[in-house]
Amino acid sequence: MSDPIEAVLSNWIEQALSPVGRLPEGTTPAAWVAARFTAWWRGRADEALCDALAATTATRAELMRLGGWDAFGEALHRLTHVEDALGDVEATFGPPGPTRDERDRAMRALARSVVEAAAFLELADDDMVHPDAAVGALEGIGRELSDAGPVAKAALREAVDALLADERSDGRPRSEYVEFLESFMTSFGLHED
Task: For residue range 130-147, list pLDDT tens digits in order.
Answer: 999 999 999 999 999 988
Q: Is 57 part of any domain?
A: yes
CA distance 143 to 117: 15
Residue 183: predicted pLDDT: 95
Residue 19: predicted pLDDT: 80
Residues 42 and 121 in one domain: no
Residues 88 and 106 in one domain: no
Last residue of a domain, one of 60, 75, 93: 93
Residues of the chain with pLDDT under 50: 1
17 φ, ψ to 5°? -95, -5
Domain count, the chain: 2
Report the Cα 100 to chain-centroid distance in Å.
8
Residue 71: predicted pLDDT: 92
Last residue of a domain, one of 73, 93, 113: 93
Nearest to 193 by CA among 151, 136, 134: 151
The residue segments making up the domain with residue 130 are 100-187
Residues 32 and 59 in one domain: yes
Residue 120: predicted pLDDT: 95
For 23, which DSSP code? Answer: P
Residue 3: predicted pLDDT: 81
Residues 65 and 130 in one domain: no
Residues 131 and 169 in one domain: yes
Residue 163: predicted pLDDT: 95
Residues 84 and 122 in one domain: no
Residues 42 and 62 in one domain: yes
Q: Is 193 part of any domain?
A: no
Tally Cβ neighbours within 10 Å of residue 160. 21
Residue 67: predicted pLDDT: 92
Nearest to 182 by CA among 146, 153, 154, 157: 157
